[in-house]
């Protein structure tokens, strides 16, 4: 039974696909309520309250996937998750509209002073002259970060007759032209905007983006809105620009620390606030919970996920096309690692023929995971394979060739060790399976599966018989046998597939046979 911990409040309707699956047990409890059983969960679903720290990941050794029902993953230690081989997914667009609408509600409330007027009337006052606002019509709106939410805010702003200016260093000209927005530099935006709203993630670059220096470049009387992440507008700098009257008003849904406690910003009359409510609508919560529930279900069924933070994204179509090569590559990695039982410096992969046209990132990661698996104690999979290879000083490269070299498709793997180099070539043949067609300089044809025994020897009469007799005497049945040689009387190989693995003693006996140079067990 698969166990999923849902540790933050989440829409039941959204979780329905998981709740309906009889093979899955969904536990809806806080982490602190299940401390004794953390090691039993396969998946963890969170919003922003649960902090997925390295410590929590260590306490959940069985965890395979973390699903964030929302956009921002700043409550998840993604690097640590990657190191532990845990996939992190989010729900990137389920709450876009709600957050854009909230931003707009905040903007209208800010310039018309609705929260202040509301409190006044509730206090039995009727002071109309105290709450004179300004129109949005004709004002210049500066949008910093023009992704999903920023672009939805722009659409609404245009409907209100505002002039929209956008700053986003990653926005292509073509996309900006298509949407019809004025793309400008940050300095231009700061100088022109009457209202500035931020919609970036919180990163090293965006932390304090609107700080002392940049706030000084804004128009006197500017309004600021942050419905993205606390810290993009530096809170300390903001206090000083409110105190000196440069900033006319601020709307905040997010804070550097949440909840903000007794923060000085809360004492300004012209600062309006909400407790991180951007995504808090029934629709958004159903959307994000449904998105992560469906993705987690797909992942647990071994299907590709499309919204992963730390895995290459794969569509179903692409996944179906690469699936066979993904498996072949994994097996090649496992075989190569056992054959090259020494430190290696580099792994070079060449994709030839039809496979060269596919999305190979995933295939390469699969090969690396296969290669590293026999060498590392921790979990290694497509999520962390590239990182672990790097940590262990193993460089890897991909090359592509349109020519399949006698095969419709092939993957050639060259492993550079300290003392030797090893090469193998594999191909996938529809309705037939995975075949290794070149091994260590020999043309051969075997399936990389099960208990394999590789023997390198001199091409002499009777060698096959000697090996067969010894195995037979020790009750080891040979399922298949492939042979190859470079030239008559020269070096030759046998690749045997056995019904059970060989023990060390039998390997030693085989090694002692005259004219046998190498004996390797390969377990796939
Ligand atoms: N208040 C709330 O409840 C919610 C907040 N959010 C937050 O809103 C923010 C935006 O979310 P989405 O639009 O979905 O993300 P997105 O990824 O679609 O857009 C982010 C945009 O920021 C741009 N960007 C990145 N670095 C930048 C920089 N240094 N300067 C300017 N632009 C930069 C990116 O190019 C991208 O276009 C995120 O921080 C997210 O966590 C999202 C949903 C709900
Ligand atoms: O879970 C929530 O309500 C927060 C949403 C949010 O901030 C996000 O999706 O980035």
Convert the pLDDT of each residue in 504-522 to its tens digit. Answer: 999 999 999 999 999 999 9
Torsion of CA 61, 64, 229, 161, to 10 degrees: -170
Give, as one character, the DSSP assignment of residue 507. H
Q: Separation of 216 CA from ligand 1 center, angstroms?
A: 23
DSSP string for residues in 416-445: EESS-EEEEEEEEETTTEEEEEEETTEEEE
CA of 200, closest atom in ligand 1 = 22
Cα–Cα distances in angstroms (integers) from residue 107 to residues 140, 194, 199, 375, 376, in the given order: 13, 11, 14, 56, 53
From-to residues of CATH 3.40.50.720 in the chain: 2-94+283-300, 96-273
DSSP H or E run through 458? strand 451-458
**What does the alpha-carbon distance between residue 362 and residue 467 come to, in Å, rounded to a whole number?**
39
C-beta 279 within 6 A of ligand 2: yes
In this prediction, residues 458-484 reach a mean pLDDT of: 94
Q: Alpha-carbon distance 208 to 203, whole Å?
A: 10
Reported as a single tens digit per residue, the pLDDT across 131-154 is 999 999 999 999 999 999 999 999
Mutate to test the pocket of ligand 2, among 149, 276, 287, 289 (most ligand atoms within 8 A of CB): 276
What residues does 433 pair with on adjacent strands?
A: 429
Query: Which atom number of ligand 1 is nearest to the Cα of residue 146?
Result: 37
Q: Judge whether residue 397 has pLDDT over 70.
A: yes
Give every CB contact of residue 213 below 8 A, 6+ residues apart in sequence: none
pLDDT score at 172: 74
What are the pLDDT digits (tens) for 226-272?
999 999 999 999 999 999 999 999 999 999 999 999 999 999 999 99
Does any ligand 2 atom lie closer than 6 A to the CB of residue 309?
no
Which position among 37, 177, 258, 342 bears the catalytic label? 258
The answer to whether 346 is a known catalytic residue is no
Contacts of range 67-70, beta carbons closer than 8 Å, 24 or more positions apart: 67/43, 67/91, 67/292, 67/293, 67/295, 67/296, 68/292, 69/8, 69/10, 69/14, 69/45, 69/94, 69/285, 69/288, 69/289, 69/291, 69/292, 70/94, 70/95, 70/279, 70/288
Lowest mean pLDDT among 55-59, 189-193, 329-333, 373-377: 373-377
Closest ligand to the CA of 278: 1
**pLDDT tens track for 52-69:** 999 999 999 999 999 999
The closest alpha carbon to 91, from 266, 308, 241, belongs to 308
CATH of 96-273, one of 3.30.565.10, 3.40.50.10490, 3.40.50.720, 3.40.50.2300: 3.40.50.720
CATH class of the domain at 2-94+283-300: alpha beta
> Which is catalytic among the residues 47, 113, 276, 428?
276
Two structure tokens written together for 157: 């702003």
Query: What value does the mean pLDDT of the chain take?
Result: 94
Any ligand 1 atom below 6 A from CB of 206: yes
- pLDDT of the residue at 255: 97
CA angle 45, 152, 237 (to 5 degrees): 80
Cβ-count burial of 252 within 10 angstroms (0-12 exposed, 13-18 middle, 19+ buried)? buried
Q: What percent of the chain is helix, strand and coil (3-state, nearest 5)?
A: 35, 25, 40
Tokens of 466: 């000697």
Any bridge partners for residue 401, and if so which? 352
d(CA 54, CA 146): 31
Which residue in the block uniquely carries the two structure tokens 């602190």? 32
Dihedral pair phi/psi, residue 227, rounded to 5°: -115, 25
* Protein residue with its CA nearest to atom 26 in ligand 1: 200
Domain with CATH 3.30.1330.90 in the chain: 316-523
Ligand 2 centroid, distance to 154 Cα (angstroms): 20
pLDDT > 90 fraction of the chain, expressed in percent and rounded: 81
As a three-state string, the secondary structure of 195-228 is EEEECCCCCCCCCCCECHHHHCCCCCCEEEEECC
**In angstroms, rounded to a whole number, what is the distance separating the alpha carbons of residues 72 and 89?**
11
Cis peptide before 259 (omega within 30 of 0): yes
Q: What is the mean pLDDT of residues 4-25?
A: 96
Instruction: For residue 171, give the ligand nearest its CA.
Output: 1
Atom of ligand 2 nearest to the CA of 8: 1
Counting from 1 in the atom list of ligand 1, the atom nearest the Cα of 48 is 3
**Residue from 304, 305, 303, 354 nearest 325 by CA:** 354
Residue 404 confidence class, pLDDT cut points 50, 70, 90: low
If you average pLDDT over residues 485-506, what whole number do you get?
A: 92
Q: Distance, CA 465 to ligand 1 centroid (Å)? A: 69
Residue of the nearest CA to atom 1 in ligand 1? 278
Over 90: is that where the pLDDT of 174 sits?
A: no
Q: What is the DSSP code (8-state) at residue 387?
A: H
Ligand 2 mean position to 254 CA, how many Å?
Answer: 10
Measured from the Cα of 149, ligand 1's closest atom is: 13
CA distance 311 to 81: 11
C-alpha radius of gyration, the chain, whole number: 31
Whether 148 is in the pocket of ligand 1, judged by its Cβ within 6 Å, is yes
Look up 276 and say whether it is catalytic.
yes
List beta partners, residue 283. none
Tell me the β-bridge partners of 24: 2
User: For domain 316-523, is the CATH number 3.40.50.880?
Assistant: no
Residue 307's pLDDT band (boundaries 50, 70, 90)?
confident
Pocket of ligand 2 contains residue 102 by CB under 6 Å: no
What tokens were used for 174? 């073509």
The per-residue pLDDT for 450 is: 96
Phi, psi of 85 (to 5 degrees): 75, 25
**Per-position b or e across 178-207, b if 16+ CB within 10 A of its CB:** ebebebbebeebbebbbbbbbbbebeeebe
Q: 23: CA distance to ligand 1 center in Å?
A: 36
Per the document, the length of the chain is 524
Q: What is the distance in A from the centroid of ligand 2 to the CA of 427?
A: 45
What is the distance between the alpha carbons of residues 256 and 319, in angstroms, rounded to a whole number? 40
Ligand 2 pocket residue status of 72, Cβ below 6 Å: yes
pLDDT of residue 488: 87
pTM of the model: 0.78
**According to the model, what pLDDT value does residue 139 have?**
98
Distance CA 313, CA 361 (A): 10
Smallest-distance ligand from the CA of 198: 1
pLDDT bin (cut points 50, 70, 90) of residue 211 is very high
**Whether residue 72 has its Cβ less than 6 Å from ligand 1:** yes
> Which residue, among 103, 111, 118, 132, has the nearest Cα to 221 in the 3D structure?
111
Q: Active-site residue 258, yes or no?
A: yes
Sheet hosting strand 478-485, strand order edge to edge: 478-485, 491-498, 451-458, 516-523
Written as six digits, the tokens of 469 are 């007799």
In the block, residue with structure tokens 């996937």: 65
- Residue 106 to residue 269: CA distance in whole angstroms: 15
Whether residue 280 has its Cβ less than 6 Å from ligand 2: yes
Helix axes 504-511, 463-473, angle to 10 degrees: 150
In whole angstroms, give the CA distance from residue 371 to residue 348.
Answer: 12
Least confident of 54-58, 306-310, 445-449: 306-310
How far does the centroid of ligand 1 lie from the alpha carbon of residue 522, in Å?
Answer: 49
341-387: pLDDT as tens digits: 888 999 999 999 999 998 899 899 999 999 998 888 777 888 889 98
Asked if residue 312 has its Cβ within 6 Å of ligand 2, the reply is: no
Q: Are 193 and 140 in contact (CB under 8 A)?
A: yes
């Amino acid at each position: 039974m698969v166990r999923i911990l849902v540790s933050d409040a989440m829409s039941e309707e959204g979780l329905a696909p998981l709740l309906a699956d009889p093979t899955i047990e969904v536990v809806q409890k806080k982490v602190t309520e299940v401390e004794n059983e953390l090691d039993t969960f396969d998946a963890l679903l969170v919003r922003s309250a649960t902090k997925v720290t390295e410590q929590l990941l260590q306490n959940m050794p069985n965890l395979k996937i973390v699903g964030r029902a929302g956009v921002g993953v700043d409550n998840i230690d993604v690097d640590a998750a990657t190191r532990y081989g845990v996939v992190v997914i989010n729900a990137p667009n389920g709450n876009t509209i709600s957050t854009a609408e909230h931003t707009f509600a905040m903007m209208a409330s800010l310039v018309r002073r609705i929260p202040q007027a509301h409190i006044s009337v509730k206090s039995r006052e009727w002071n109309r002259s105290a709450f004179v606002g300004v129109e949005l019509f004709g004002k210049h709106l500066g949008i910093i970060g023009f992704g999903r939410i920023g672009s939805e805010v722009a659409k609404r702003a245009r409907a209100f007759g505002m002039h929209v200016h956008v700053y986003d260093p990653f926005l292509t000209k073509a996309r900006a032209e298509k949407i019809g927005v004025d793309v400008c530099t940050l300095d231009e935006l700061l100088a022109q905007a009457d209202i500035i709203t931020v919609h970036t993630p919180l990163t090293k670059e965006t932390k304090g983006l609107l700080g002392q220096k940049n706030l000084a470049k804004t128009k006197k009387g500017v309004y600021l809105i942050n419905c993205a992440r606390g810290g993009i507008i530096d809170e300390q700098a903001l206090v000083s620009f409110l105190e000196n009257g440069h900033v006319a008003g601020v709307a905040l849904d997010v804070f550097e620390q949440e909840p903000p406690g007794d923060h000085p910003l809360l004492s300004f009359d012209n600062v309006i606030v909400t407790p991180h409510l951007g995504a808090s609508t029934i629709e958004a919560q159903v959307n994000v919970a449904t998105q992560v529930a469906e993705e987690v279900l797909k992942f647990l069924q071994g299907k590709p996920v499309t919204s992963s933070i730390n895995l290459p994204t794969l569509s179903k179509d692409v996944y179906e096309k690469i699936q066979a090569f993904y498996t072949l590559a994994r097996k090649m990695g496992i075989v190569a690692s056992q054959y090259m039982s020494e430190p290696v410096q580099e792994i070079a992969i060449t994709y030839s023929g039809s496979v060269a046209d596919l999305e190979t990132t995933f295939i390469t990661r699969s090969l690396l995971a296969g290669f590293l698996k026999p060498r590392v104690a921790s979990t290694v999979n497509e999520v962390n394979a590239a990182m672990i290879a790097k940590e262990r000083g193993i460089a890897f490269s991909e090359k592509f060739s349109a020519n399949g070299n006698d095969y419709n498709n092939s993957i050639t793997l060259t492993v550079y060790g300290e003392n030797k180099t090893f090469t193998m070539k594999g191909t996938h043949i529809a309705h037939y399976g995975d075949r290794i067609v070149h091994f260590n300089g020999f043309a051969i044809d075997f399936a990389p599966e099960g208990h394999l025994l590789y023997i390198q020897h001199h091409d002499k009469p009777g060698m096959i018989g000697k090996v067969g007799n010894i195995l037979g005497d020790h009750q080891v049945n040979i399922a298949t046998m492939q042979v190859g040689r470079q030239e008559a009387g020269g070096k030759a190989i046998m690749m045997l597939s056995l019904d059970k693995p060989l023990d060390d003693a039998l390997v030693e006996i085989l090694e002692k046979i005259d004219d046998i140079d190498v004996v390797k067990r390969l377990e796939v």
